[in-house]
């Protein structure tokens, strides 16, 4: 009797292992248009989800920004980023302008002596939550005014090439002001 129980238990255990290893599929395949990607499989561009609302200078269909597509750059918008920035201790108000890769943040602070510390905390808070963007944070009043001006132009409709040029020029100015001795 003991040999018979061992044989049955071994057969059940082997059957369970084989069923688990084979994936327990019923032999059906997925025939929808998008398909699914198997683990460790390769997804073709047609299977990848479409990333909407990315504005680039080469995009022929979006020659000008409107207030609707300006607020919808990626998975986050400038108003949501501004709310994150205002939650950092020491920040009184924030203005954010962004394109598909860069985010410019102008902040008003309550203690000018802690300017660099607060800028670093704002940068860290944003980078931690949304690392896909390159952040430029400044509390300099002149650069902050330029960020506000670009924001206003973008809300009123703005050529995307000029918009990206303005963002890169301000980003370079912010980077230079942070590395200046």
Helix axes 141-155, 160-179, angle to 10 degrees: 170
Domain-located, residue 16: no
Q: How many domains does the chain have?
A: 1
Q: What is the pLDDT along the chain (181 residues), one digit of tens a residue?
A: 556 777 877 777 777 777 676 655 544 444 444 444 444 444 444 444 443 344 444 443 344 444 444 555 567 888 999 999 999 999 999 999 998 889 999 999 988 889 999 999 999 999 999 999 999 999 999 999 999 999 888 888 878 888 889 999 999 999 988 775 5
Domain-located, residue 23: no
Domain-located, residue 39: no
Domain-located, residue 81: yes
Burial per residue of 67-83, b for 16 or more beta-carbon CB atoms within 10 angstroms, e otherwise: eeebbebbebebeebbe
pLDDT digits (tens, 9 = 90+) for 82-92: 999 999 999 99
| Domain CATH code at residue 81 | 3.30.70.1350
Please tell me the pTM assigned to this model: 0.60
- Look up the domain containing 117 and give its range: 64-179
Domain-located, residue 24: no
Domain-located, residue 131: yes
């Amino acid at each position: 009797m003991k040999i018979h129980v061992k044989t049955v238990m071994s057969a059940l255990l082997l059957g369970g292992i084989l069923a688990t290893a084979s994936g327990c599929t019923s032999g059906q395949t997925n025939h929808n248009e998008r398909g699914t990607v198997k683990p460790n499989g390769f997804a073709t561009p047609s299977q990848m989800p479409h990333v909407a609302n990315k504005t680039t200078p080469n995009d022929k269909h979006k020659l000008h920004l409107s207030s609707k597509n300006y607020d919808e750059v990626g998975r986050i918008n400038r108003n949501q980023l501004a709310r994150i920035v205002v939650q950092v201790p020491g920040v009184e108000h924030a203005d954010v302008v962004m394109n598909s890769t860069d985010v410019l943040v102008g902040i008003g602070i309550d203690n000018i002596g802690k300017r660099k510390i607060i800028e670093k905390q704002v940068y860290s808070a944003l980078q931690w939550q949304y690392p896909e963007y390159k952040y430029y944070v400044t509390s300099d009043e002149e650069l902050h005014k330029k960020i506000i001006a670009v924001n206003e132009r973008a809300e009123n409709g703005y050529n995307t090439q000029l918009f990206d040029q303005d963002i890169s020029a301000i980003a370079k100015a912010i980077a230079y002001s942070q590395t200046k001795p």
